[in-house]
Amino acid sequence: MTAETDTQTTTVYRVTGMTCGHCEGAVTTELSALAGVSSVKAVAATGEVTVTSAAPLADEDVRAAVDEAGYEFTGRV
């Protein structure tokens, strides 16, 4: 799912392997480092990560950041 406003894009991604708050933090830290990202909310219970950014992010960039955190990016919701 992707929603765009005049200045921000919000996209929900599916990430597997998160089980706790520490996992959420690791994914949030890596995704927050991507250019243009203004907020990240990772929820281990659902495996969903909501990212708000200045422009749509390339899936390969999101995949690389999630991989760096030690989890698996499985696509957009």
Domains for the chain: give ranges and CATH numbers: 2-76 (3.30.70.100)
Identify the band that residue 4 occupies on the pLDDT scale cut at 50, 70 and 90.
low
Query: From CA 28, how far away is CA 25, in angstroms rounded?
Result: 5
Both tokens assigned to 27: 């994914």
Query: From CA 46, how far away is CA 34, in angstroms rounded?
Result: 23
Q: Which residues lie across from 9 on neighbouring strands?
A: 4, 53
Q: Around Cβ 14, how many Cβ atoms within 10 Å?
A: 15
Q: What are the pLDDT digits (tens) for 20-67? A: 999 999 999 999 999 999 999 999 999 999 999 999 999 999 999 999
Q: What are the pLDDT digits (tens) for 7-22? A: 899 999 999 999 999 9
pTM of the complete model: 0.92
- Are the CB atoms for 43 and 74 separated by under 8 Å? no
The arithmetic mean of pLDDT across residues 72-77, rounded, is 97
Computed on alpha carbons and rounded to an integer, the radius of gyration of the chain in Å comes to 11
